[in-house]
């Protein structure tokens, strides 16, 4: 019998680059806003954006904890930190890669025309 997934209880604005993440039974919404990325980079003493990307994607413990705390825009990040186990690091890696990809890839295709038309 397949395990039934529970619905995600928080609103996730994917157009803004938000990504859902479950850490144990704690739902979080992450976003890679520029200021948040700078804060994670400073906390981890990264030398470059590539260094930041590698540390978040390699599920390094200190980077994972910093990413959860600083990139969380909705949810109880401290509760997630209290409940995190090694088995949750894979989901954290996936979420970090998703928010970073959105941030570095830019806007969704087609938004350039809408922006040009509004200008």
Q: Which of 68, 20, 77, 18 is nearest to 40 (CA)?
A: 68
> Is residue 118 classed exposed, middle or buried when 0-12, 13-18 and 19+ CB atoms within 10 A define those classes?
exposed
Residues 48-57 have a mean pLDDT of 91
Residues 44-68 have a mean pLDDT of 92
Token pair belonging to 4: 């039934």
Q: Does pLDDT of 105 surpass 70? A: no
The pLDDT value recorded for residue 108 is 45
Mean predicted lDDT score pLDDT of the chain: 85
> Is residue 62 classed exposed, middle or buried when 0-12, 13-18 and 19+ CB atoms within 10 A define those classes?
exposed
Q: Does pLDDT of 116 surpass 60? A: no
The pLDDT value recorded for residue 103 is 66
pLDDT digits (tens, 9 = 90+) for 14-25: 988 899 999 999
For residues 75 and 27, the answer to whether their CB atoms sit within 8 Å is yes
Name residues whose C-beta falls within 8 Å of residue 10's C-beta, 6 or more positions apart in sequence. Answer: 20, 27, 28, 29, 74, 75
Residues 23-51 have a mean pLDDT of 94
């Amino acid at each position: 019998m397949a395990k039934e997934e529970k619905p995600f209880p928080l609103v996730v604005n994917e157009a803004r680059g938000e990504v859902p993440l479950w850490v144990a039974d704690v739902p979080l919404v992450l976003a890679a806003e520029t200021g948040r990325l700078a804060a994670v980079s400073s906390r981890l003493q990264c030398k470059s954006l590539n260094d930041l990307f590698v540390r978040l994607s390699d599920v390094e413990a200190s980077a994972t904890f910093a990413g959860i705390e600083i990139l969380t825009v909705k949810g109880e990040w401290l509760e997630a930190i209290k409940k995190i186990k090694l088995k949750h690091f894979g989901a954290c890696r996936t979420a970090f890669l998703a928010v970073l990809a959105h941030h570095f890839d830019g806007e969704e295709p087609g938004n350039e025309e809408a922006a040009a038309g509004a200008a």
